[in-house]
């Protein structure tokens, strides 16, 4: 009995007393204040060793907000301003954006973006389930949005009491704390802008630090859109221009280390660029040179950030370049004209060698066969006036080569006294098959004198000699092209005296000595010119081949009689009806206008302007395929036009027998020259 009492006492102490104490503690747990303290403790739980509020703050719906209008500047720019519709501090926003763009890694930014999107989805879901009053309160109080999103559907438990003023103030304080921990709304809106500017920011950072990590060039929008193959070449050229600008700026000139480095980069880029016109022509190390130059230019930009000075320098460079271009154009024009006037050594040797050979022949050997055909009007007659033996030979050879019946073709060649013997010797040594040849000396035309021809009188006048030979006029580029010696030669004006030269012929086909015949021309003699005198191909497809480009329409004699927009035509291959010529007194018309132009006020020298006037309303237009021009000045003549043309014309200064002739067109002419001919080999005339 004594033992039972101590046992019961110990049982009461060890079993019943803890039960009573625990039950009392559990009862105290039911109070509202203790429950709220518990919830606040839960809201501050630590995850991963980091104590912070639960990151469940949903963002306001973008459908209810207008996108803020603002400009975000990077930290390395001089004026960093963020203009926002929000009323929060501008400086604080700029600081946060710079910190997020410079210090935070890209992965963290992407993680933050995902959190924002997730929270936004939670908000949309909660807006669908809550009442209108609750939605309004959620928009006013972001902390309520957090708890509403966590405890959705549990409003009846009384865990949230947004009507309490004290709780509102407490949660406003929490909102301020959360703003410091999480990015602001305007920062999140600007995230897309930062993403767009990321490439540019990284490129500038790499240039400043001197590290360019990308292995492939950055394609610009222009490259992607145009797909051009010279994008890198143009980039290198632009770098050279920028480098020249920095060389001339005061701030960069005061930095000798930078100038030395820049000059070295310029040399490297110039060597890499060379004469390349396409990216495929650049060396393999061209991109490394481009990156190195870009880094150096970035340093220059840091040294010289005054845009006004750069603009002034660029304008100075532009002005200097334009002036240099003008000077080079003038020099090019002068040198081109000089090259066109200069006779190659081989072509000077050829007539001397042929003349010597001709005078070694007896009189019977100096005569051409088939002289009875010279005045037969039924045959096909060609008129060719030239002092260039090789050019005349190509015209004859190409015509005969494409003639269906060469025996019916007669060539009348008129040359000057110096080349008369050589011209005859060439065709005696190289007869054109069955065709008939006649070579005449212009000195034999006794009827052609200064009393009959106004142009002869003008060519021998002191004013004309002064115009051509006075040195002080040599710098006049406006008149330079008209001072070619061919304008002083009467051979160039014989085309206006065809009825006097060929009195018994009805039709004559006039050919210049810088043409090549590619098809049979006999069809031109059967054309009905419909009462016109001249059959020619019109050249008004281009604006500069109209009348106002050749005639002086400021003179009333020209403006009253002609249309400035009338279509011009071309000499070089013209079919003339000599019967109509005589009936309409074309030579008299030509003489009348030549007398009116004694002071060169109506047109400059040449034969085309007086031809346009003389044959005004007397020209029959031929099909364009008969005569294609431009091979002596235009490198872009349509290849199809050349192939289908009956006659191609090397009008211009780049004649095919000169070194300045365009190689792409020379083969059409050179294939009718026999370079194995003994006289050509002796004079070292090669293709």
> Comparing 658 with 159, which gets the higher pLDDT?
658
Burial class (CB in 10 A: 0-12, 13-18, 19+), 225: exposed
Cβ contact 281:334 at 8 Å: no
Distant-in-sequence, close-in-space partners of 656: CB < 8 Å, separation ≥ 6: 514, 631, 632, 650, 665, 666, 668, 669, 670
Q: Which of 7-16, 214-223, 466-475, 631-640 has the lowest mean pLDDT?
A: 214-223
Cα dist from 74 to 85, 95, 193, 394, 444, whole Å: 20, 11, 11, 72, 89
**pLDDT band at residue 490 under the 50/70/90 scheme:** confident
pLDDT digits (tens, 9 = 90+) for 60-72: 444 455 555 555 5
Q: HSE of 23 in the Cβ direction (CA atoms, 13 Å)?
A: 6
Chain Cα centroid distance, residue 435 = 51
In this predicted model, what pLDDT tens digit does every residue of 266-280 receive, in sequence order? 999 988 888 888 888
Q: Tokens standing for 345?
A: 């050594």
DSSP output for 119-182? HHHHHHHHHHHS-HHHHHHHHH-HHHHHHHHHTTT-GGGT---TT-HHHHHHHHHHHHHHHHHS
Cα separations in angstroms, 641 against 36, 510, 538, 630, 662: 96, 21, 15, 11, 17
- All domains of the chain in start order, with CATH: 50-195 (no CATH), 345-678 (3.90.550.10)
Task: Report the range out of 2-16, 158-172, 309-323 with the highest average pLDDT.
Answer: 309-323
Q: Give the mean pLDDT of 182-196.
A: 48
Whether residue 254 is predicted with pLDDT greater than 70 in this model: the reply is yes
How far is the CA of 532 from the CAs of 295, 506, 578, in angstroms? 72, 13, 10
pLDDT digits 0-9 by tens, 495-521: 999 999 999 999 999 999 999 999 999
Cβ neighbors of 35 (< 8 A, separation 6 or more) are 29
Residue 119 has pLDDT above 90, yes or no: no
CA distances from 327 to 187, 335, 483 (A): 57, 12, 20
Name the residue among 239, 338, 250 with its Cα closest to residue 298.
Answer: 239
Tell me which of 459 and 556 has the higher pLDDT. 556
CA of residue 329 relative to chain centroid, distance: 20
Confidence of residue 389 (pLDDT cuts 50, 70, 90): very high
Spatial CA neighbour of 248 closest among 299, 295, 311: 311
- Whether residue 283 contacts residue 318, with contact meaning beta carbons closer than 8 Å, is answered with no
Q: Which of 140-154, 465-479, 666-680 has the highest mean pLDDT?
A: 666-680
Binned at pLDDT 50, 70 and 90, residue 7 comes out as: confident
Question: What tokens does 199 get?
Answer: 């490439």
Q: Which of the two residues, 633 and 139, has the higher pLDDT score?
A: 633
pTM above 0.75, yes or no: no
- pLDDT value for 199: 53
The answer to whether residues 570 and 514 touch, using CB atoms and an 8 Å cutoff, is no
Query: Interior CA angle at 63 toward 61 and 66, to 5°?
Result: 100
Q: What is the token pair recorded at 337?
A: 């004209």
């Amino acid at each position: 009995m004594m033992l039972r009492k101590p046992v019961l006492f110990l049982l009461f102490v060890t079993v019943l007393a803890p039960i009573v104490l625990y039950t009392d503690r559990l009862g105290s747990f039911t109070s509202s204040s203790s429950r709220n303290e518990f919830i606040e403790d839960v809201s501050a739980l630590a995850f991963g060793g980091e104590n912070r509020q639960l990151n469940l703050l949903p963002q306001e719906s973008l459908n209810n907000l207008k996108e803020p209008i603002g400009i975000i500047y990077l930290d390395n720019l001089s004026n960093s301003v963020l203009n926002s519709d929000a009323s929060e501090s501008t400086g604080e926003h700029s600081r946060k954006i710079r910190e997020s763009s410079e210090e935070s890694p890209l992965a963290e930014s992407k993680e933050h973006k995902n959190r924002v999107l997730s929270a936004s989805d939670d908000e949309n879901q909660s807006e669908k389930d809550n009442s209108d009053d609750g939605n309004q309160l959620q928009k006013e109080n972001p902390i309520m949005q957090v708890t509403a999103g966590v405890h959705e559907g549990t409003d009846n438990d009384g865990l949230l009491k947004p009507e309490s003023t004290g709780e509102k103030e407490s949660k406003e304080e929490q909102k301020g704390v959360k703003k410091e921990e999480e990015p602001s709304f305007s920062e999140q809106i600007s995230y897309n802008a930062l993403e767009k500017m990321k490439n540019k920011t990284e490129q500038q950072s790499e240039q400043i630090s001197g590290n360019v990590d990308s292995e492939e060039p950055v394609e610009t929008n222009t490259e992607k859109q145009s797909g051009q193959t010279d994008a890198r070449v143009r980039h290198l050229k632009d770098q050279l221009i920028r480098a020249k600008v920095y060389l001339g700026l005061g701030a960069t000139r005061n930095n000798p280390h930078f100038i030395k480095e820049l000059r070295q980069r310029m040399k490297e880029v110039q060597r890499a660029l060379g004469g390349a016109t396409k990216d495929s022509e650049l060396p393999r190390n061209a991109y490394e040179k481009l990156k190195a130059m870009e880094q150096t230019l970035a340093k220059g930009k840091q040294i010289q950030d005054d845009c006004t000075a750069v603009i002034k320098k660029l304008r100075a460079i532009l002005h200097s370049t334009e002036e240099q271009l003008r000077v080079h154009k003038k020099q090019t024009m002068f040198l081109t004209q000089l090259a066109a006037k200069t006779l190659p050594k081989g072509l000077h040797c050829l007539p001397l060698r042929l003349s010597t050979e001709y005078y070694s022949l007896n009189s019977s050997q100096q005569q051409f066969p088939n002289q009875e055909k010279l005045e037969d009007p039924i045959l096909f007659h060609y008129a060719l006036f030239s002092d260039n033996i090789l050019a005349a030979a190509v015209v004859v050879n190409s015509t005969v080569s494409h003639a269906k019946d060469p025996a019916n073709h007669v060539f009348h060649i008129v040359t000057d006294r110096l080349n008369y013997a050589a011209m005859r010797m060439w065709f005696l040594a190289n007869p054109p098959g069955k065709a008939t040849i006649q070579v005449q000396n212009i000195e034999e035309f006794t009827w052609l004198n200064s009393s009959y021809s106004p142009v002869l009188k003008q060519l021998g006048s002191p004013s004309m000699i002064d115009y051509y030979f006075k040195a002080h006029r040599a710098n006049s580029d406006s008149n330079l092209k008209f001072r070619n010696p061919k304008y002083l030669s009467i051979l160039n004006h014989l085309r206006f005296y065809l009825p006097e030269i060929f009195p018994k012929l009805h039709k004559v086909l006039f050919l210049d000595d810088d043409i090549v015949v590619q098809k049979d021309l006999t069809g031109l003699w059967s054309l009905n010119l419909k009462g016109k005198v001249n059959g020619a191909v019109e050249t008004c497809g281009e604006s500069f081949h109209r009348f106002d480009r050749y005639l002086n329409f400021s003179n009333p004699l020209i403006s009253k009689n002609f249309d400035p927009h009338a279509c011009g035509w071309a000499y070089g291959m013209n079919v003339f009806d000599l019967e109509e010529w005589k009936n309409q007194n074309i030579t008299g018309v030509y003489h009348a206008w030549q007398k009116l132009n004694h002071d060169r006020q109506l047109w400059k020298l040449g034969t085309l302007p007086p031809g346009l006037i003389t044959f005004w309303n007397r020209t029959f237009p031929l099909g364009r395929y008969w005569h294609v021009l431009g091979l002596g000045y235009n490198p872009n003549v349509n290849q199809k036009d050349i192939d289908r043309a009956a006659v191609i014309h090397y009008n211009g200064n780049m004649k095919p027998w000169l070194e300045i002739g365009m190689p792409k067109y020379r083969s059409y002419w050179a294939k009718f020259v026999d370079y194995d001919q003994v006289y050509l080999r002796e004079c070292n005339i090669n293709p």
